[in-house]
Copies of this chain bind each other. A is one copy, B any other.
Amino acid sequence: MALRQKIAVLIGGVGGAKLALGLANLQPTPQLTFIVNTGDDFWHLGLKICPDIDTLMYTLAGVVDPQLGWGIADDTTCVLAGLRRRYAIDTWFKLGDQDLALHLLRTEAMRGEVSLTDFTSAIARRLGITATILPMCEAEMPTTIHTRDHGEMSFQEYFVRRRWQPVIQRVRYGSRQAASVPAPVREALAKADLVMIAPSNPWLSIAPILAVPGMRELLAAASAPKVAITPVIGGDAVKGPTAKIMRELGLAVSARTVASYYDGVIDGFVDDLRNPHFSMDGLRTTRLDTLMTDLERKVAVAQDTLDWARGWVS
């Protein structure tokens, strides 16, 4: 294994960002590439918004709102107040002014034919982030939620406006345009010493990445071990709708369900000490304390996962 380990991480929003921060604080710092879900991306008030990319960037730059886990700390909402007060706009999606500044730049760049990949790299550098942050693809692949009682709705309609309360029947990952895996993602997967799947929501954050045409094949072709970390701890998700969705889809809320969901993609699984033991054919597993309550714990989960995978490979 190379002196400076190359790690490619499939990752979503707030949950994944915790692991990302742990990885970024390892000593020595691995060469990190985050392949980020853009299924949540949407256009709002004429702005191109990429929630998962931004959450990751703000987290790694140390400017994220520590309470929310997304948005910028101590941000104001003057523009939103103006929209609501003067023009009676329904401001259900919270957009801080500092956050809006980034959306303005992104929208301008993308209208000007700059790729999301290039824009993201430039902003990450500007924010002082040394890790590489890559969108899963350039094409728009909006995740659509089919609900039991309210029909089909966009991801943000489901997740933010309705606070993930509707009962999910099916999640659809689709692209309006022809989507493909961008060259830098392809390269990162090919060169990785380790591929990780962050403990993000498998159905909402990781599945959209796996749905990019060609992504599963690239993962299968990658020589590195591919390890997922459980988002289920002690029979529940740490945060967000993961457990609720599993129940609604008729699945057992367990690490095994997650591991099965990643069948054919991963060859290693980091389970949590609190979960009941399980084994699956052809899948290496380990049981660690995966709860990431503070920076120390985030670093520990990153380090323990790496140590395990390192021992396993050598």
Residues of A participating in the B interface, judged by any CB pair closer than 8 Å: 45-47, 76, 78-80, 82-83, 86-89, 97-98, 100-102, 104-105, 107-108, 111, 123, 126-127
Contact = CB atoms under 8 A, between A and B. Distances in A.
B97 A78 contact: yes
A86 B126 contact: yes
A163 B95 CA distance: 33
B79 A100 contact: yes
Contact of A97 (B46, B97, B102): B97
Number of this chain's copies in the assembly equals: 2
The interface residues of chain A, by DSSP majority, are classed as helix
A176 to B, nearest CB: 16
A123 to B, nearest CB: 7
A126 B86 CA distance: 8
A169 to B, nearest CB: 31
30 contacts: A45-B104, A45-B105, A45-B108, A46-B104, A46-B108, A76-B76, A76-B97, A78-B78, A78-B79, A78-B97, A79-B79, A79-B98, A79-B100, A79-B101, A79-B104, A80-B101, A82-B98, A82-B101, A82-B102, A83-B104, A83-B105, A86-B98, A86-B102, A86-B126, A86-B127, A87-B101, A87-B102, A87-B123, A87-B126, A88-B126
Contacts of A78: 76, 78-79, 97-98
A186 to B, nearest CB: 29
Contacts of A79: 78-79, 97-98, 100-101, 104
A97 to B, nearest CB: 4
With a 10 A CB-CB cut-off, give which of A86, A100, A101 has the most chain B CB atoms.
A101
A47 B111 CA distance: 11
A86 B101 contact: yes
